[in-house]
Amino acid sequence: MSLSLTSKCNMFRRLGDVTLHRTRQLHQLAAQLTSIPQNNMPAPAPGAPLLDCAPSATPALIGGGWSLLSVRHKVRNYFPKPREHKRLKFTWEERIKTEGGRSILMRRILKGKYFIAHPPSMLPHWPHREY
């Protein structure tokens, strides 16, 4: 079942309207949360134990909302990046050197491929080449 262009546009327009409405509601709610005074708790009775169970600020305001997201993975620094060796191995210069590489380049040119080979890098080259 194929939708016409106008029905797709109307569907996206309605989706955008709903999203905009929800965003406005969230902004209004955030404004209400920030305008709530913190000292609105009644004073305890003179002989009652002092227990402060009220939060000092809402969790969404402490970290700007990002504090609600848990960190599941630590940041990893992998170098060289995955496929870096492959990218350096199949550059234009490396393909031109061999007959098989030249045939691959010609085949990709004849097919009209936009990316014929991986671009050369400013990083150290494939292990068999000098720096």
Fold assignment, 82-131? Helix Hairpins (1.10.287)
pLDDT tens digit string along 15-58? 677 677 777 777 787 777 777 665 666 666 676 665 555 555 55
pTM: 0.32
Sequence spans of domains, the chain: 7-34, 82-131
Encode pLDDT of 4-25 as tens digits: 767 766 766 776 776 777 777 7
Residue ranges of alpha helices (H) inside the chain are 5-35, 59-62, 84-89, 92-97, 99-111
Per the document, the length of the chain is 131
Rounded CA-CA distance 84/86 in Å is 5
Phi and psi at 3, nearest 5°, equal -90, 145
